[in-house]
Amino acid sequence: MMTYEFLQHYWCFVVALLAALLVFLMFVQGANSQIFELGKTADERRLLINSTGRKWEFTFTTLVTFGGAFFASYPLFYSTSFGGAYWLWMLILFSFVLQAVSYEFQNKLGNLLGTKTFQVFLVLNGILGPVLLGGAVATFFTGSNFIVERDNIINEATPIVSRWANASHGLDALLDVWNVVFGLAVLFLARLLGNLYTYNNIEDAVLARRNLSALWKNTAVFLVLFLAFFFHIMTKDGFAYDSATGIVSMEPEKYFHNLFGSVPMLAMFLLGVIAVLLGVVGTYGWKSKDGTAFRGGIWLAGIGTVMVVVSLLLTTAYFNTCYYPSNADLQSSLTMQNSCSSEFTLRTMFYVSLLVPFVLAYIWYAWRKMDQKRLTHAEVQDHESEAY
Amino acid sequence: MENELFTIDSSMVDWSRAQFALTAIYHWLFVPLTLGLAVIMGIMETIYYRTGRDFWKQTAQFWQRLFGINFAMGVATGIILEFEFGTNWSNYSFLVGDVFGAPLAIEGIVAFFMESTFVAVMFFGWKKVSRGFHLASTWLTGLGATISAWWILVANSWMQYPVGQEFNLDTMRNEMVSFVDVALSPVAIDKFCHTVISAWVLGAVFTVGVSAWYLLKKRDVEFARKSMCIGAIVGLVASVLAAATGHHSAYTVGQTQPMKLAAMEALYNGGKDQSLTVFAAVNPFQQPDWQNEEEAPARLAVPYALSFLATNDFHGYVPGINDIINGYEKENGETEIPLSEKITRGNAAITAMRAYREAKRDGREQELEILSSEFQENMPWMGYAYVDEPEQVVPFIPVCFWAFRIMVGGGCLFILLFMVVLYSLTPNPSPSGEGSSRFRHLIKTFWFKTKYIFTLGKVTTPLSTRREAGGEAIPRWLLHAALWCIPVAYIVSESGWLVAEFGRQPWTIQDMLPTWVGVSALPTSSVMITFFLFLVLFTTMLAVEISIMCKQIKRGPNL
């Protein structure tokens, strides 16, 4: 049952799921990118920041776990992408470092840089985080410029296995228009999720009205960008490989065939799209059982986001596809087969991953306990609330 | 690093090392306080849970506030560390990711989510969850941080003492063959115990020092005395345990990384019946002439103590740097081969590896088994293929030597501090009757104070009902000393990191991978820029954190 091939597919799914959860949890970044648009007064901004401030650790932890899981299951990707696309990843990390301290420091006595500086840091992370992470993920479809040569270990000229093929070290990803389009699509997805989350989490009529006003605009921009990228990848050639020989070649409409050729994958994708749209539309049109406005759009859109991202990421890796293709040397492209850890490690990690449902259960329980009542101005201003 | 196999710019290796060291040193400024305060505030909240006194709630909340300010920086620097394995040490990540990645992934799944879930409940949940659930969240936050420490130290220990893996010639990397060997290696257990317990010491010094400040200012006296009492009890227990685990760690280092121990001791020429250096005039800025000097100048030493530390036998054999370079006979009769032989065997491993890859490429299947066994025979010394000179395998002795002394000296100082603080803080027994001997009175005092301490200083009793003397009973010089011990504790803590990490140079993985083969192929300028960006960023944030922390302390617990 647990063959090496199964474990490779399993870990690919786990990494894709973590990436999808990360995209969903970037509602934190999405809301932060709109601090000054939604919050016109200091109190409103504080309310917004305290709302996302109770969830930012989840986003951060998911990013770290995503990195750890990728490292453990696909170490060649970790070394090639992080060591090669150095500047791209460093910019992402810088933006997340700024975020980590901004919540705690921004409103404290003795803050040498002032409240506004840290709020600007949150906005910076809110924009750069999704755009750059989205751009990095888009290279799974568009390719990157690296060369992998395992025999370099015994090469007297250089013992380094992975190299970037140009001097930009990852910034070249941002020169590809489709990477930027996808990065922006992720940003606007995060923004609409941020609107849905704060609409759900905060009890404030003014902020609710502004959220509803921003939601449709963010959704419209997201749909345009996402559909453009989607049609591009569905019609472009994909990076395929022969599982017997490992030889990589270009295959016309590879991603289209991957997605539409697999019923479970297509179903997951379509259900996800419908859930995202229902989450947005329902927020405007539906009523809750008690007759109040429907505020659960974040959950529908969140689940939908996870499903769409998982299905899209799996189309880059399943069905004999190179998930991290190289434009510099096609045969250096990374596949599930040639870049994964040993069977022993994947199996060991499989047993560890059985803890994940338990982890999700206590997160759900704690989240539910903490969010039983919506956040109010009164709670944030209560000195005992330890608010940011 | 002038190896013919090496064409990467050597300054890039140095900058990569500097960047990683910078991040790790900053990270280690925040983590010990997180681990230490977690225990102390957990105890305080437990008392609140048991007594229901609002005083303890506010006391716990005060320390949790400081915990939170510190926690954010720990998280921020931690994420950089994880990703720097990929960004700056990509060859390392490829060669050992199969083994090394697993603990990092487990850390994320098991520890980080626990920490991040319950830290939010701890800070914001006082009015949202029950007292029991809140208490559990506080302890689970600390437990999450401690489990995180376990897995990252497992990963670090594997670099110092690689076990449970084999090099696969087909995939050209190390692969895990025993998870238990990796997760429960003796080095990992020692390292975890010593590191986490020493973090409790730092947390305790911080608590005692901050409390001392309040007593010096004659404000929040009850809060300060009780916090100080809990801090000192935790600190005393932890510092004694740190000494015990430290001894065991030194023994393990002696067995697994003799060069590190020799550098820690500036022991150039070893032998039996070795004495432990208390002081020697080792120039802090210059590598000593270990090849020609007999021993470090002006050496003051405790006879036989090093032999005992390294072998648990006062007459045990401890190799010096020259012994390790030239080869020596171990206690068990085995011979440690000289460096020249290790280099020869390392080259033989690389030659066999090359031949194996060529045979595989050419389809000469019948040769593979022989070449593979030839490689595996020489694999333990593979890293020496990248070494030319003896100087390359000797760590920078002054850092190891002085950092070790600061660490041990600081540890002894803290034991003394906690004992004196507890002595001053605890009440004296009622005077003995006439005719009672001085010795009997001493025993009675000792017993009375010990009992007091083991009942947690009767901390649950309000101050006014106690018969103790009050804050004035603690001498001001002691309060000043406790306050000044806070920066000392940080220096001591960082010294521990320096001993562990400088002492294993030049190895990224002991005997297998020198630093200059583990790096990423990057231009030096890129790493230089990011180094300075991190330096400015971390230093600015540290300044903000210290400023906020001081303001919070000045503001006090609002009792």
The secondary element (H helix, E strand) that includes residue A155 is none
Interface of A with B in 199-218 (CB under 8 A): none
Report yes or no: A129 and A183 within 8 Å, Cβ to Cβ: no
**A367: closest chain B residue by CA:** B117
Q: What is the pLDDT, as a whole number, of residue B1?
A: 37
Nearest-angstrom CA–CA distance, A200 and A288: 12
pLDDT at B2: 38
- Whole-angstrom distance, CA of residue B167 vs CA of residue A296: 52
Residues of A in contact with B520 (CB under 8 A): 79, 83-84, 86, 160, 162
Residues contacting residue B204 through CB under 8 Å, at least 6 positions apart: B36, B40, B231, B232, B234, B235, B236, B238, B239, B414, B418
Residue B258's closest CA among B336, B342, B181? B336
Residue B432 has what pLDDT? 65
Q: Partners of A110 in the beta sheet?
A: none
Q: Provide, as residue numbers in chain A, all residues whose Cβ is less than 8 Å from the Cβ of B353.
A: 153-154
Can you give the pLDDT at residue A155? 73
b (16+ CB within 10 A) / e for B102-113: bbbbbbbbbbbb
In Å, how far is B29's CA from the nearest CA of chain A?
15
The rounded distance, in Å, linking the Cα atoms of B453 and B228 is 12
Give CB contacts under 8 A, 24+ apart, made by B454-461.
Answer: B456/B43, B456/B47, B456/B229, B456/B230, B456/B233, B457/B226, B457/B229, B457/B230, B457/B233, B457/B425, B457/B426, B459/B47, B459/B226, B459/B229, B459/B230, B460/B47, B460/B50, B460/B51, B460/B53
A290 CB within 8 Å of a chain B CB: no
The reply to whether residue B544 touches residue A105, judged by beta carbons under 8 angstroms, is yes
Q: What is the pLDDT of residues A69-117, one digit of tens each?
A: 999 999 999 999 999 999 999 999 999 999 989 999 998 989 999 999 9
Q: Six-digit token pair at B172?
A: 């050209």
CB contact under 8 A, B72 and A154: no
Nearest by CB: A86 against B113, B129, B520: B520
Distance of CA A317 to the CA centre of its chain: 17
What's the average model confidence in pLDDT over A222-227? Answer: 98
Residue from B520, B525, B550 whose CB has the most chain A CBs within 10 Å, to mutate: B520
CA distance A263 to chain B (A): 31
Of B64, B521, B537, the CB nearest to A163: B521
Tokens linked to B85: 């394995």
Contacts of A353 in chain B (CB under 8 A): 109
Provide DSSP, B152-189: HHHHHHHHHS--SEEEETTTTEEEES-HHHHHT-HHHH
Angle at B116 (CA atoms; ends B160, A192), nearest 5 degrees: 125
Considering only CB atoms, A342 lies closest to which of B4, B100, B175, namely B175
* Contact residues on chain B for A89, CB-CB shorter than 8 A: 83, 86-87
Chain A residues touching B108 at Cβ < 8 A: 61, 64-65, 67-69
Q: Return the amino acid letter for B311.
A: T
Q: Which residues pair with B301 in a beta bridge?
A: B277
Mapped onto helix, strand or coil, the DSSP state of residue A251 is strand
Average pLDDT rounded to a whole number, residues A290-302: 92
Residue A157 is predicted with a pLDDT of: 61
Nearest CA in chain A to B88: A83
CA of A221 vs chain B CAs: smallest distance (Å) = 32
Q: Do A154 and B357 touch (CB under 8 A)?
A: yes
Residue range A49-74, pLDDT digits in tens: 999 999 999 999 999 999 999 999 99
pLDDT tens string for chain B (559 positions)? 333 334 567 789 999 999 999 999 999 999 999 999 999 999 999 999 999 999 999 999 999 999 999 998 999 999 999 899 999 999 999 999 999 999 999 999 999 999 999 999 999 999 899 999 999 999 999 999 999 999 999 999 999 999 999 999 999 999 999 999 999 999 999 999 999 999 999 999 999 999 999 999 999 999 999 999 999 999 999 999 999 999 999 999 999 999 999 999 999 999 999 999 999 999 999 999 999 999 999 999 999 999 999 999 999 999 999 999 999 998 788 899 999 999 999 999 999 999 999 999 999 999 999 999 999 999 999 999 999 999 999 999 999 999 999 999 999 999 999 999 998 988 777 776 666 677 887 888 888 877 777 766 555 555 444 444 444 478 999 999 999 999 999 999 999 999 999 999 999 999 999 999 999 999 999 999 999 999 999 999 999 999 999 999 999 997 7
Which residue in A229, A156, A150 sits closest to B170, CA to CA?
Answer: A150
Confidence at residue B446, expressed as pLDDT on a 0 to 100 scale: 80
A58 and B CB contact within 8 Å: yes
Can you tell me the mean pLDDT for A354-371? 91
Q: What is the mean pLDDT of chain A?
A: 94
Q: What average pLDDT does the segment A1-22 reach? A: 94
End-to-end CA gap in chain A: 50
Asked if A73 and B101 come within 8 Å (Cβ–Cβ), the reply is yes
Name the β-bridge partners of B173. B168
Query: What residues of chain A lie within 8 A of the CB of B517, using their CB?
Result: 159
Residues in chain A closer than 8 A to B129 (CB atoms): 369-370
Q: How many CB atoms lie within 10 A of CB B13?
A: 22
> Which of B252, B251, B254 is closest to B262 using CA atoms?
B254
Between chains, do B85 and A100 touch, taking CB under 8 Å as contact? Answer: no
CA distance B108 to chain A (A): 5
Nearest to B105 among A68, A101, A384 (CB): A68
* A352 CB within 8 Å of a chain B CB: yes
Contacts of A100 in chain B (CB under 8 A): 72-73, 75-76, 79
Contacts of A160 in chain B (CB under 8 A): 8, 90-91, 519-521
pLDDT band of A362, cuts 50, 70, 90: very high
CB contact under 8 A, A344 and B551: no
Cβ count within 10 A of residue B490: 18
Do residue B105 and residue A75 have CB atoms under 8 angstroms apart?
Answer: no
CB atoms within 10 A of CB A245: 7
Q: How far is CA A276 from CA A271, A299, B213, in A?
A: 9, 9, 55
Structure tokens given for B19: 């960047």
User: Does residue A362 belong to the interface with chain B, where contact is any CB pair within 8 Å?
Assistant: yes
What kind and span of H or E run contains A55? none
- Whether A104 and B116 lie within 8 Å, measured CB to CB: no
Helices first, then strands: H and E counts in chain B: 18, 8
- Tokens 């000195």 belong to which residue? A383
Residue A368, CA distances (Å) to A73, A365, A378 in order = 32, 5, 20
Query: How many residues can be counted in chain B?
Result: 559
H helices present in B107-130, as ranges? 113-124
Q: What is the pLDDT at residue B469?
A: 43
- Give the closest of B78, B99, B555 to A109, CB-based: B555
Q: What is the mean pLDDT of the segment spanning A10-31?
A: 96
Determine the pLDDT at residue B466: 44
| Contact between B547 and A359 using a beta-carbon 8 Å cutoff | no
Whose structure tokens read 């070449």?
B371
For A238, the 3-state DSSP assignment is strand
Task: Nearest chain A residue to B349 by CA: give it.
Answer: A154
Q: Which of A57, A79, A87 faces B86 most closely, judged by CB atoms?
A: A79
Residue of B nearest to A385 (CA): B124
Sign of the torsion angle spanned by Cα atoms A160, A164, A167, A170: negative
Provide the ipTM. Answer: 0.93
pTM for the model: 0.92
Closest CA to B230 of B198, B206, B207: B207
- Search chain B and give the residue with CA nearest A56: B116
Sort B400 into a burial class: Cβ within 10 Å, 0-12 / 13-18 / 19+: buried
User: Which amino acid, one-letter code, is at A331?
Assistant: Q
pLDDT tens for each residue of A180-191:
999 999 999 999
- Which DSSP string do the residues of A105-153 spell out, in sequence order? HHTSTT-TT-HHHHHHHHHHHHHHHHHHHHHHHHHHHH-B-EEE-GGGG
Provide the pLDDT for residue B465. 42
Q: What is the pLDDT of residue B471?
A: 45
